[in-house]
Amino acid sequence: MTAAAPGAVPTAADEVVDLCRELIRFDTTNPGDGTGPGERAAAEYVVGLLQDVGLEPELFESAPGRANVVVRLEGADASRPALVVHGHLDVVPAHAPDWSVDPFAGELRDGLVWGRGAVDMKDMDAMVLAVVRQMVREGRRPARDVVLAMFADEEAGGRYGAHWAVEHRPELFAGATEAVSEVGGFSVDVAGRRVYLLQTAEKGLAWLRLVAQGRAGHGSQVNADNAVTHLAAAVARIGEHAWPLELTPTVRALLEGVADLTGLPFDPEDPQGVDALVDALGPASRFVGATLRHTTNPTRLAAGYKENVIPGGATASIDGRFLPGRSEEFDATLATLLGPHVRAEDLVRDTGLEVPFEGALVDAMVAAVVAEDPGATVLPYMLSGGTDNKSLSRLGITGYGFAPLRLPADLDFAGMFHGVDERVPADALVFGTRVLDRLLATC
């Protein structure tokens, strides 16, 4: 981090690392069952940062402790549609004994900021806050109105965050047509070239509960209608199902770009060739490899209460992710895999998104990256997970993932998401502030 000169007004580059560390120190763990500490303390900190430069943000709760913050910055051309720049303040749980550091200490070690949320997504939160604070201090306006939002509950589907805000406070986003948030704009090394992946698509979400019913009875008796057996068979079929290769326009464009950079052939009908192109993306292949097809991963099982009692019911959870525009075929195949004794219930379901890699905002994002990293390449990609852009899409807002980070080629960035020892390079945060400042000034 570059320290500001004595008496000088700090810039985004001066304070972004400290902001990220402070945000990490707020334990905003979201287990998804309502037992977490909530986002209120972190939201109040954000409000203070914005009020410190003269802005008037609004903090509102969707439930006790589930706090969201929204503020609108007037643009140089207020007649243009507004841009939403949003982040989320909650994080997934961290099991401290598995970590090398305290996951909520916000430690700076070896030039990296460590802690839960360092990449998902308090890094982007810090970059945006630092840039906005600098712009306001310097009396600069963004090119158009910007709605800055920090949401609760993204890690559990946004029920208390973006989804609630869209349903109950849509006026906050009046006039907005586009949005920028996680997870894109980070760099990967492809054939010795730095490539930034701009997210133009994300898979749909289907968190499912499987329910099996059978005949309860004594564990010593023959029972051909055993709910556990029915459920286990369905879980195995779903978990082992080989979903076919389906390349959406975003994935095709990415693989074509990788083929151009590497010289590897691209044949959409050749699974091995496609896998070779995905592998060329290094650590980012974890994200991209999961966007070639639907996925269904069993995650939880529950049944019974005693070893010698056959239960009358059993349940399991499935994390399903379907390709944009293909939810019906996903559901149809899933129905055949369930079998006659098991039904599926939606726990959380949300849409998939895909937009073209073109337009004025995309051009501005690409230009901002290249201005700070000449010679870099920017390619589109699809996120295998989901973001709060899903909720904003209900208002007709087109969302992109663009949290710009210039990363070391050997950093397993994709593995940091929800992983142990989550961390982000401090100089990547400084780089991101420069890119975001250019974007807001020009888009």
Sketch the domain layout of the chain as residue ranges: 12-183+387-442, 205-244+295-351
Task: Tell me the CB-side half-sphere exposure of residue 341, using CA atoms within 13 A.
Answer: 20
pLDDT at 286 over 60: yes
9, burial (CB in 10 Å: exposed 0-12, middle 13-18, buried 19+): exposed
Is the backbone peptide bond immediately before 222 cis, with ω within 30 degrees of 0? Answer: no
Report pLDDT for 65.
97
Burial of 332 per CB tally in 10 Å (0-12, 13-18, 19+): exposed
Place of tokens 């009908």: 269
CATH 3.30.70.360: does it fit domain 205-244+295-351?
yes
> Domain 12-183+387-442 sits in which CATH superfamily?
Zn peptidases (3.40.630.10)
Work out the average pLDDT over 68-91: 97
Contacts of 156 (CB under 8 A, 6+ apart): 30, 32, 90, 348
What is the CB neighbour count within 10 angstroms for residue 178?
22
Q: What is the mean pLDDT of residues 105-133?
A: 97
267-305: b (≥16 Cβ within 10 Å) or e: eeeeeebbebbbebbbbbbbbbbbbbbbbbebeeeebbe
pLDDT at 6 > cutoff 60? no
Write a three-state SS string for 59-120: EEEEECCEEEEEEEECCCCCCCCEEEEEEECCECCCCHHHCCCCCCCCCEECCEEECCCCCC
| Residue carrying structure tokens 């219930």 | 345
Percent of the chain with pLDDT over 70: 98
- Res. 3 pLDDT band, cuts 50 70 90: low
What band does 7 get if pLDDT is binned at 50, 70 and 90?
low
Q: What is the DSSP letter of 423?
A: E
Report the percentage of the chain scoring pLDDT > 90: 93
Residue 360 dihedral angles phi and psi, to the nearest 5°: -65, -40
Q: What is the pLDDT of residue 4?
A: 56
Q: Whole-angstrom Cα distance, residue 166 to residue 391?
A: 7
Contact between 147 and 140 under an 8 Å Cβ cutoff? The reply is: no
Cα atoms found within 13 Å of the Cα of residue 427, Cβ hemisphere only: 6
What average pLDDT does the structure give for the chain?
Answer: 95
CA distance 4 to 133: 15
Contacts of 34 (CB under 8 A, 6+ apart): none
Give pLDDT tens digits for 9-52. 789 999 999 999 999 999 999 998 889 999 999 999 999 999 99
HSE at residue 258, side-chain half, CA atoms within 13 A, is 30
pLDDT digits (tens, 9 = 90+) for 184-227: 999 999 999 999 999 999 999 999 999 999 999 999 999 999 99
Q: Which residues contact 189 (CB under 8 A, 6 or more apart)?
A: 195, 282, 409
Question: Do residues 359 and 137 make contact, with C-beta atoms less than 8 angstroms apart?
Answer: no
Model's pTM, two decimal places?
A: 0.92
Residue 1 predicted with pLDDT over 50: no
Whether 205-244+295-351 and 12-183+387-442 are alike in CATH topology: the answer is no
Strands 82-88 and 146-151: parallel
